[in-house]
Amino acid sequence: MRCEEFRKELEIQFGTVKLGAAKKEHLAGCPECAEFYQQLQILEEKILVAEKPVMTADEFARMQLGLDEEISRYQSRGNRFFRFSFRYGATFAAAALLILLAYFGRLPGHNINEIYNTGNTSSGISIDSAINEIFAVINDSDSQSDTVSVQAIDDPYVKMVIGNYAESYGIGADEALLGGLSDEEMNYLKSKLKAGDIL
């Protein structure tokens, strides 16, 4: 083995040099390489006195706390997204219903006035209970943190209210509310909308 090659080999094995017969033979017959090898050994000894960095107990505790927080945030991200959107959905639904009631209430001769006054809808349920029904659906979704199961709003009047709202105000502004609707209700809404509307 040529000297240059031999020294590179020693450098590659720096820290773990094992002198086999061939290496010992070269070192014995080559003072330059022997000197080189000795230098490497000294360098190794000097670097080896470096202390291994270790986390202190306090540092580990801090790191663990940070990691815990990050993992919690990561794990709740999906759940929080749904809670967030449904919370806004609930607010929106309330606003939408108030607007609707005000709107229909102002229309002369509209039977909603009578309905409202009597407290009953055309399908025989009270407006209060219709509102409650919508809120029950939305709040139900809110409380179920990791699933989005929404029971169908199976009342024609409620469907009509949402449908009329969609017709009057456009549906695109309201994805949070729509997110709380079942496929059936969604199809109902779609059927009420004209081509070219958002959905």
Site residues (CB under 8 A) for other proteins? 8, 11-12, 14-16, 39-40, 42-43, 45-47, 49-55, 59-60, 62-64, 66-67, 70-71, 74
Q: Which is nearer to Zn ion, 30 or 101 (CB)?
A: 30
- From residue 61, how far is each of 54, 70, 168 by CA, in Å? 13, 14, 58
**How many CA within 13 A on the CB side of residue 181?**
20
Nearest CA to 22 out of 12, 36, 30 is that of: 30
The residue range among 26-34, 45-53, 67-75, 141-149 that interacts with Zn ion, by the rule CB under 5 A, is: 26-34
Beta carbon of residue 83, minimum distance to other proteins (angstroms, whole number): 22
Beta carbon of residue 27, minimum distance to Zn ion (angstroms, whole number): 8
CA dihedral 51, 52, 56, 61 (to 10 degrees): 170
Query: Which DSSP symbol is given to 53?
Result: P
Q: Which does 47 bind (CB under 5 to 8 A by kind): Zn ion, other proteins, none?
A: other proteins
Q: 153 near 85, Cβ under 8 Å?
A: no
Q: Which does 64 bind (CB under 5 to 8 A by kind): Zn ion, other proteins, none?
A: other proteins
Q: Does 125 bind Zn ion (CB under 5 A)?
A: no
Q: Does 30 bind Zn ion (CB under 5 A)?
A: yes
Beta carbon of residue 69, minimum distance to other proteins (angstroms, whole number): 10
Q: Which does 3 bind (CB under 5 to 8 A by kind): other proteins, Zn ion, none?
A: Zn ion
Beta carbon of residue 68, minimum distance to other proteins (angstroms, whole number): 9
Which token pair is 115? Answer: 């309905």
Number of residues interacting with Zn ion: please give it, by CB under 5 A. Answer: 3
Q: Which does 194 bind (CB under 5 to 8 A by kind): other proteins, Zn ion, none?
A: none
Nearest CA to 163 out of 136, 196, 198, 190 is that of: 190
- From residue 129, how far is each of 125, 126, 134 by CA, in Å? 7, 5, 9
Q: 1 near 26, Cβ under 8 Å?
A: yes
Q: 171 near 197, Cβ under 8 Å?
A: yes
Q: Does 33 bind Zn ion (CB under 5 A)?
A: yes
Q: Which is nearer to Zn ion, 3 or 107 (CB)?
A: 3
Per CB under 5 A, residues contacting Zn ion are: 3, 30, 33
